Structure 1
Amino acid sequence: MSQFWSPIVRTLTPYVAGEQPAISTLIKLNTNENPYGPSPHALAAMREAVEDGLRLYPDPSGLPLRTVIAETHGLEPDQVFVGNGSDEVLAHTFQALLNHDKPLLFPDISYSFYPTYCRLYGIAYRNVPLDEVMRVNIADYRQDCGAIILPNPNAPTGIALPLGEIETLVRDHPDQVVVIDEAYVDFGAESAVSLIKTCPNLLVVQTFSKSRGLAGLRVGFAMGQRHLIEALERVKDSFNSYPLDRLALAGAVASWQDRDWFERHRDLLMNSRERLAIGLRDLGFQVLPSSANFVFARHPDKSGMELLHALRERSILVRRFAGERIENYLRISIGTDAECDKLLAALAEI
């Protein structure tokens, strides 16, 4: 600790991101990146954007991107907010919409950035335990609260709720904001975007990092009725007026418009996920049902830490989270079929 730190810095336990190793020969299945990379159209658009225009600031509101997203979902551009990755969008959301006198609710096993945001912004929160099979039970959220945030599919479990249950949750809390964090929704879950027109308390957050292979570009967005989006804009414009640069805007717009690439590679990944789950079960693993681009699995005879280190010795990275109920699970990102085969071969050897 330093005498120069502000008091709040002493109290923070920062979020720890997945390892980004410098060794290129490792099989990297630890941070849920897309193994197929971005659309060629996105790469071409970014190359074209590398010109004299870089001396100028980008559109501060990201209007070109907000427009194409809005058109896809039958929304207006002013019902879409864009930011520097969904983590920044979530950070603004916590400040703008989730900080109330009563506690914020979210699952006890969930995205580990949520409690980090709460500590940073001084937000009271209460964890709602997953049930015995690691699922979210909507009835457990029928309690007094200031707001709710829920990942769907959940992370790190990968389990998704059907749209009907999300709608029940939103309508059960008409006086509280409900945020549905849909970072992994494209891999088999139902998006809540269709509820926005009739649910003034609903905000949906998504990202270009997973299904569109643009994790390195840092583009995220939120969708909701105008009054919610305006709150995010007020926070953003008090923090950074230009969160997305010209390259990010060009690449994201082109990626969004290349629907064929998106659907083809999403389907490839989903097929690989089911193939990997079968292979893990054949090795004795318990694998939770996943609607994400990863699986969450444990073995009855090997601890999560033991497996993590044994795989690292074989140049394969996966992720393990500390926690009483999940310490023996591994979160395994879906790679190419060749990468998944190497993982299964290594686990068979272990």
Structure 2
Amino acid sequence: MSRFWSDHVSSLSPYVAGEQPRVPDLLKLNTNENPYGPSPKALQAITQAVGNRLRLYPDNESKALREAVAALHGIDAAQVFVGNGSDEVLAHVFNGLFRRAGRTLLMPDVTYSFYRTYCVLYDIDVQLVPLTDDFSICASDYTLAGGNAPAGIIFANPNAPTGIAMPLSDIEAIARANPDTPVVVDEAYVDFGAESASTLLGQYDNILVIHTMSKSRSLAGLRVGFAMGSPEIINGLNRIKDSFNSYPLDSLAQVAAVAAIQDTAYFDSTRHAIMQARQVLIKRLAGLGFDVLPSAANFVFARHPHHDAFGLSQALRERNILVRHFENQRIDQFLRITVGTPEECERLCINLAEICQ
């Protein structure tokens, strides 16, 4: 603890990001990055935008990007909020929607670990709702009336790190049962096989849907995220953003994101390739004795009944293959494995077969 810190800094437990080592011949399946590059049209847009205009500030309203998102999802641009990656969008959500005196945030006990970090950072009272025995989210746990309305409800769909998706009807039931509560659906992985709650925005003004351009659009290096919801909620997020950083997205990120959104052919071809590789990977892992949870994401969550998960992750590391291991008690025997190209998945499985023999 430093004498220069603010009072709350020592109590923080910062989010631990996946490793980003620079090792030759490294197979990196630990951070759910897309194995395919960005849309060629996005790269072309960046090239064309490089020039003298970079001396100017970017569009602080990201108008073209918000219009592209709105057109894609059939909503109005006033219903779109953008930020420097979905993590920044989430930070503004926790700060702007969930800090409600006397009310508690509800979220799953196993979900994206950054949520807990934000709760500590913004001093938010939280109630962790256990996943079921099969690691799914039970909608009725969030629909039972009683006491004060929650300050908010947040979950990832598909959930992270399990990869399990909720049906749209369950999300609708949660929103309908909590009309005075923001229901935030973090859809970082939705494009790999789940239904988006963006289709419910016209019916429920309490739903906020968050997307990232890092996964299915292959733009993790540019940091672009956005939220979709009612103008009332979006206005609140803009008040937070403009009290923090009026220019969260640089000019190159904005033009690349627009081009990536508009290149639907490339988007569909790469995400379907990942979904096909996922199914093959699940079968291969099952053949090696792994229990694999049903995944609608670009990763799988698997455990082996006869091999310790941390030991497996270390054995793979020695072979220049990175996967993600979590120390949380309920999931400490699972590995989260990003779906790579078919060749990358094959390399993983060959090595796992040798390790598990």
TM-score, normalised on structure 2?
Answer: 0.97
Q: Distance in 2 between matches of 1:347 and 1:229?
A: 46
Partner of 1:51: 51
Q: Deviations over 1:80-134 (max 9, x none)?
A: 0010000000000111111112110110000000010010001010100000000
Deviation at 1:142, TM superposition (A): 2.9
Q: Distance in 2 between matches of 1:122 and 1:103?
A: 11
Aligned partner letter, 1:37: G
User: Are positions 1:28 and 2:33 aligned together?
Assistant: no
Q: Distance in 2 between matches of 1:223 and 1:245?
A: 20
Q: Which runs of 4+ in 1 moved over 3 A?
A: none
User: Are positions 1:166 and 2:181 aligned together?
Assistant: no
Deviation at 1:44, TM superposition (A): 0.5
Q: Deviations over 1:138-193 (max 9, x none)?
A: 11113552210011000000000011111001111001110000000000000000
Q: Deviations over 1:18-38 (max 9, x none)?
A: 000011421000000000010
1:340 pairs with one of 341, 345, 356:
345
Q: Distance in 2 between matches of 1:18 and 1:164?
A: 33
Partner of 1:218: 223
Q: Distance in 2 between matches of 1:166 and 1:244?
A: 30
Q: Distance in 2 between matches of 1:328 and 1:74?
A: 42
Q: Distance in 2 between matches of 1:207 and 1:15?
A: 18
Aligned partner letter, 1:138: A
Aligned partner letter, 1:256: I
Partner of 2:70: 70
User: Are positions 1:154 and 2:175 aligned together?
Assistant: no
3-state SS of paired residue (2:33) = coil
User: Are positions 1:274 and 2:279 aligned together?
Assistant: yes
Partner of 1:135: 136
Partner of 1:98: 98
Aligned partner letter, 1:18: G
Q: Distance in 1 between matches of 2:328 and 2:77?
A: 41
Q: Deviations over 1:1-45 (max 9, x none)?
A: 111111110100000000000114210000000000100000010
Deviation at 1:74, TM superposition (A): 1.5
Q: Distance in 2 between matches of 1:172 and 1:182?
A: 21
Deviation at 1:72, TM superposition (A): 1.6
Deviation at 1:70, TM superposition (A): 0.4
Partner of 1:18: 18
Q: Distance in 1 between matches of 2:206 and 2:98?
A: 11
Are the counterparts in 1 of residues 97 and 151 from structure 2 also a CA contact under 8 Å? no
Aligned partner letter, 1:62: S
Q: Which runs of structure 2 are paired with 1:233-312 in the superposition (5 Å)?
A: 233-312=238-317
Q: Distance in 2 between matches of 1:294 and 1:207?
A: 16
Q: Distance in 2 between matches of 1:279 and 1:218?
A: 33
3-state SS of paired residue (2:201) = helix
User: Are positions 1:204 and 2:209 aligned together?
Assistant: yes
Are the counterparts in 1 of residues 38 and 260 from structure 2 also a CA contact under 8 Å? yes
Partner of 2:115: 114
3-state SS of paired residue (1:302) = coil
Partner of 1:88: 88
3-state SS of paired residue (1:345) = helix
TM-score, normalised on structure 1?
Answer: 0.99
Deviates further, 219-228 or 96-105:
96-105
Q: Distance in 2 between matches of 1:137 and 1:349?
A: 38
Are the counterparts in 1 of residues 143 and 173 from structure 2 also a CA contact under 8 Å? no
Q: Deviations over 1:271-313 (max 9, x none)?
A: 0000000000000000000000000000000011100100001
Aligned length: 350
Aligned partner letter, 1:4: F
Q: Distance in 1 between matches of 2:31 and 2:71?
A: 30
Aligned partner letter, 2:94: F
Partner of 2:126: 125
Q: Distance in 1 between matches of 2:164 and 2:24?
A: 31
Percent identity for Structure 1 against Structure 2: 57
- RMSD of Structure 2 on Structure 1 (CA): 0.7
Aligned partner letter, 1:105: L
Aligned partner letter, 1:314: R
Q: Distance in 2 between matches of 1:10 and 1:311?
A: 34
Q: Distance in 2 between matches of 1:37 and 1:172?
A: 41
Q: Distance in 1 between matches of 2:113 and 2:175?
A: 22
Are the counterparts in 1 of residues 188 and 215 from structure 2 also a CA contact under 8 Å? yes
Aligned partner letter, 2:127: R
Aligned partner letter, 1:118: C
- List runs of 5+ in structure 2 lacking aligned partners: none
Partner of 2:321: 316
